[in-house]
Amino acid sequence: MISEGGNAHLPLCVMICSIGPVDPFVRDQVAECVSCQCRLPCRFSPEMTTPAYAFDEKRQQYNSKLILRYLMDLNHRSLRFLAVTQLDLFVPILKYVFGLAQIEGQCAIISTYRLRPEYYGHAPNPALFMERVKKTALHELGHTMGLTHCRDRRCIMHSATTIEDTDVKRARFCPTCHEIFKWQLEQYVS
């Protein structure tokens, strides 16, 4: 167990929440991946509404920094909080992002919007789509556990600025990142 401010004990789990409508199968697959790869149980939180406050009229996208800031202000009653959305996300200095997390922060958000092969003019490929979703979820969760970008292009923690970067990665941590993740997680166990 970990304590928050020394008062409340938080369950050693990852809370997963949809922001706007998300296919329950996608949410379930993210939970299964996190449970298997990170050895952390997952729980589901009720769906949140589409965040109108984060919509940028000019870009026709949602500002992921504003959403993350909103999530960080909530009491999640979990070790980590992972939001999944179909909204197209951006940060002000980039055209888009697949996800966003604060290093060693409690919250992360991922978007499925640009992970579907159809977005790039290809035929639907549910297996490829789910592989991309899982990689993105693990990557952002890794950031919340203190991991930064890895130089190993096959590691889940390698930076992914294009979909090709995502496709090259494996859906797991390299040995070094795995050890750091494990060590960070052990810091929360008492």
Kindly state the average pLDDT of the residues 54-70. Answer: 97
46 inside domain: yes
42 inside domain: yes
Instruction: State the CATH number of the domain containing residue 145.
Output: 3.40.390.10
176 inside domain: yes
Which residues, other chains included, contact 164 with Cβ-Cβ below 8 Å and sequence gap of 6+? none
The confidence score (pLDDT) of residue 190 equals 53
What total of structural domains would you count in the chain? Answer: 1
190 inside domain: no
7 lies in which domain range?
A: 2-185
109 inside domain: yes
**What's the pLDDT tens digit per position in 22-34?**
999 999 999 999 9
Which residues, other chains included, contact 185 with Cβ-Cβ below 8 Å and sequence gap of 6+? 38, 39, 40, 145
CB 90 within 8 A of CB 56: yes
- Token reading at 81: 């909080």
At residue 9 the predicted structure's pLDDT band, cuts being 50, 70 and 90, is low
76 inside domain: yes
80 inside domain: yes
Cα torsion angle, 25, 27, 31, 33, sign:
positive
**What's the pLDDT tens digit per position in 92-141?**
999 999 999 999 999 999 999 999 999 999 999 999 999 999 999 999 99
3-state secondary structure of 6: coil
The confidence score (pLDDT) of residue 11 equals 73
171 inside domain: yes
Q: Is 140 assigned a catalytic role?
A: yes
Give the active site residue among 4, 140, 164, 179: 140
pLDDT at 3 exceeding the cut of 90: no
